[in-house]
């Protein structure tokens, strides 16, 4: 009788170990399903503790109302301060969007940006409409009435002015 009990005990232990080894570690809130490149970006700029949610799909980014083309399906990381960091399907950083004025940009979210080099142009002659500034290798486009801000690599964009769309190619 002692032998079957030992055998059952060994089987139960083996099953428990097998179940434990099959379980993958739970991802942290900052890396929940994100591709490796996106996780590295978040870790590089020490944003892991600020992540509120991670979602996959078409980002509901604020500047779509400004007339920008909606980006392709990808990953959106929303921080506790309502900053949206958007990545492609493969985890490449695309842009960061937030509701602040240029002066209120939290340097923690933009620590990879050092300085505004120069103002490129403003649509029409009204600085309140849209301003474009080059910041190192990135561009900031700010809507001065709504305080919405786009930051990202060079893009083709549609700027809305008086209900019409003007296509502008931003290049470095």
The per-residue pLDDT for range 133-166, each reduced to its tens digit, is 544 445 555 544 454 555 554 433 443 444 333 3
Predicted local distance difference test score (pLDDT) of residue 47: 81
User: Would you state the structure tokens that stand for residue 39, as one six-digit string?
Assistant: 């996780």
Least confident of 42-51, 86-95, 117-126, 147-156: 117-126
User: Would you state the structure tokens that stand for residue 121, as one six-digit string?
Assistant: 């142009």
Average pLDDT over residues 20-35: 49
Domain that holds residue 149: 2-169
For residue 56, the tally of other CB atoms under 10 A from its CB is 14
Predicted local distance difference test score (pLDDT) of residue 77: 87
Residue 46 has pLDDT above 70, yes or no: yes
Cα 62 to Cα 82: distance, rounded to the nearest angstrom: 11
Cα 77 to Cα 151: distance, rounded to the nearest angstrom: 15
Predicted local distance difference test score (pLDDT) of residue 54: 92
The conformation of residue 9, written as its DSSP 8-state character, comes to H
User: Would you state the structure tokens that stand for residue 157, as one six-digit string?
Assistant: 């964009």
The conformation of residue 123, written as its DSSP 8-state character, comes to S
Least confident of 66-80, 99-113, 134-148: 99-113
Most confident listed range (55-69, 112-126, 131-145): 55-69
Q: Is 67 in contact with 159 (CB distance < 8 Å)?
A: yes
Q: Is 113 in contact with 135 (CB distance < 8 Å)?
A: yes
Residue 39 has pLDDT above 90, yes or no: yes
Tell the residue number behind the tokens 């801000």, with chain if given.
149
Cα 88 to Cα 90: distance, rounded to the nearest angstrom: 5
Q: For residue 159, what are the contacts with CB-CB under 8 A and spacing of at least 6?
A: 66, 67, 123, 130, 165, 166, 168
| SS3 assignment, position 79 | strand
Q: How many domains does the chain have?
A: 1
Predicted local distance difference test score (pLDDT) of residue 35: 93
| SS3 assignment, position 162 | coil
Q: Is 48 in contact with 42 (CB distance < 8 Å)?
A: yes
Tell the residue number behind the tokens 């055998």, with chain if given.
7
User: Would you state the structure tokens that stand for residue 111, as one six-digit string?
Assistant: 């620590």
Residue 93 has pLDDT above 90, yes or no: no
User: Would you state the structure tokens that stand for residue 69, as one six-digit string?
Assistant: 């083309």
């Amino acid at each position: 009788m002692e032998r079957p009990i030992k055998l059952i005990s060994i089987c139960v232990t083996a099953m428990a170990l097998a179940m434990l080894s099959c379980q993958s570690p739970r991802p942290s809130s900052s890396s929940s399903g994100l591709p490796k490149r996106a996780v590295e970006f978040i870790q590089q700029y020490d944003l892991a503790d600020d992540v509120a949610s991670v979602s996959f799909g078409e980002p509901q980014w604020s500047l779509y109302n400004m007339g920008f083309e909606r980006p392709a399906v990808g990953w959106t990381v929303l921080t506790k301060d309502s900053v949206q960091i958007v990545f492609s399907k493969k985890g490449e950083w695309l842009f960061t969007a937030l509701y602040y004025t240029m002066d209120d940009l939290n340097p923690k979210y933009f620590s990879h940006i050092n300085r505004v080099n120069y103002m490129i142009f403003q649509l029409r002659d009204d600085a309140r409409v849209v301003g474009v500034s080059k910041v190192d290798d990135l561009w900031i486009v700010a809507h001065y009435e709504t305080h919405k801000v786009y930051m990202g690599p060079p893009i083709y964009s549609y700027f809305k002015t008086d209900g019409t769309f003007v296509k502008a190619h931003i290049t470095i």
